[in-house]
Amino acid sequence: MDVQLKELIETIKSEGVDNAEAQAKEIVNEAQKKRNEIIADAEQEAARIREKAEEDAAKMQATAEESIRQAGRDLLLSLESSITSMLDAVVKKEAASALTGEGLSKAIVALLSNWSEEKDSLELLLPENERVEVEEYLKKALGTKMKKGVTVKPVAGIEAGFKIAEEGGSAYYNFTADGIAEILSQYVSPRLSSLLRESVKGQKE
């Protein structure tokens, strides 16, 4: 009887240990599986974060580069505008200097000497302070041509140079300092713009 009881106890112990070991092994395997899943999820999340960070960095770089390019364009336009304004002022000053006094009289004589006599009477619009001197000069230089129909009129709005038109007509030729400066600026501005852009392109290369 004692022997049977002892064997029964040993059997129960053996089965209990085996069951416990099996359960422990199952728990360990489950834990290992869970660990592997957590690691895989973490690696995927890390990869996603890295990819997003790289995309964000690329976008930031592209935005920064575009901002730099825009700033360069703005600076170029500002520089072009400043230089054009300076050139306009210089051209206007030089034109005004050339078209006063004797220079003004000679320019008018050169123009009127080649003017067709078949044209109607002409109106010569001058600065108020130049009228007397220019009129005397024209009478001496042009003689009868001056008497045939050139009317000299002082105009308060003209500071230097002159305008000439057929009498009573609305169209006129503008040889004032402002008019000449505007004509030259139409050439200078595109050329200046081209030179500035060529210079910037050369710096990049």
For residue 130, give the CATH number of its domain: 3.40.1260.20
Q: What domain count does the chain have?
A: 1
59 part of a folded domain? no
The pLDDT tens digits for 145-197 are 555 667 777 777 777 877 777 766 666 677 777 777 776 666 666 666 666 66
Q: Is there a domain that residue 114 lies in? A: yes
Match 């009868």 to its residue by tokens.
144
Long-range contacts, 145-152 (Cβ 8 Å, 24+): 145/112, 145/113, 145/117, 146/112, 148/117, 148/121, 149/120, 149/121, 149/122, 150/112, 150/121, 150/122, 150/124, 151/121, 151/122, 151/123, 151/124, 152/124, 152/126
What's the angle, vertex CA 31, arms to CA 30 and CA 37, rounded to 5? 90
pLDDT per residue as tens digits for the range 67-117: 777 776 676 667 666 766 776 676 666 666 666 677 777 777 777 766 655
Residue with tokens 């973490």: 42
Output b/e per residue, 127-145; b: 16+ Cβ within 10 A.
beebbeebbebbeebbeee
Confidence of residue 143 (pLDDT cuts 50, 70, 90): low
Q: Is residue 48 part of a domain?
A: no
Whether the full predicted model's pTM is greater than 0.75, yes or no, is no
With respect to residue 17, please indicate whether it lies within any of the assigned structural domains. no
The Cα 66–Cα 63 span in angstroms is 5
What is the rounded average pLDDT of the residues 40-60? 83
**For the chain, how many residues are written?**
205
Q: State the residue range of the domain holding 133.
A: 99-171
Residue 109: inside a domain: yes
Residue 2 lies in a domain: no
Q: Please tell me the distance from the alpha carbon of residue 102 to that of residue 44, in angstroms, as a whole number.
A: 89
Residues 146, 80: Cα–Cα separation, whole Å: 45
Is residue 75 one of the residues assigned to a domain? no
Residue 128 lies in a domain: yes
User: At what angle are helices 2-98 and 101-113 packed, to 10 degrees?
Assistant: 80
Residue 55's pLDDT band, with cuts at 50, 70 and 90, is confident
